[in-house]
Amino acid sequence: MRDPETTLGSHTAPNQMTLDIITPMPGTVASLDSVPDPIFAAGTLGGGLAVVPDPDRDHVTLRAPVSGVLTRLMPHFFVIVTESGVPVLTHLGVDTGRLDGQGYSVHVKEGQHIRVGQRVTTYAPRELARLGFDPVVPVVAMRIAAVEGRMVPGEPCEPGDVLFRL
């Protein structure tokens, strides 16, 4: 894993902080409009990118894409609110709330301060696919329409890569 601490919170100009959103898992970058869920595809929740897990992995550990407070935690998604107040949603699969936690292992607690790159949850994308769920992982800066993509759809990624920037 690359060292995400070196990219988080870099300054581009006085009083103008940039926020790098780090790739939470290995896989392939995908655009939000390719996610088979109309809420994500339309950008209704905000801007971002998605990561498609490598098909040969039975289990994948997701790492925090930003530092902040874990304000919402369910087995299939989590929201971290950054120090600057930006909520960042990471959603593990499409329509996976119906699984009632099956195929997920949570490693942290809601309300906890999370460091970028910290292990948050592990899930079983191959099992999800066998059950008919798309295992894609959207990462969204909530209520922010436009983000600066640092990676392009189709590009392989590893935890710690800068996925997009605010």
Q: Is 11 a catalytic residue?
A: no
Cα diameter, the chain: 50
- Compute the distance between CA of residue 64 and CA of residue 132 in angstroms, rounded to an integer: 26
**At CA 73, angle to CA 59 and CA 23, rounded to 5?**
50
Q: Which amino acid is at 155?
A: E
- Compute the distance between CA of residue 36 and CA of residue 16 in angstroms, rounded to an integer: 35
- Compute the distance between CA of residue 69 and CA of residue 59 in angstroms, rounded to an integer: 25
Place of tokens 């809601």: 110
Catalytic residue, candidates 76, 91, 107, 113: 91
- Compute the distance between CA of residue 131 and CA of residue 13 in angstroms, rounded to an integer: 48
**At CA 161, angle to CA 64 and CA 118, rounded to 5?**
20
Active site residues: 91
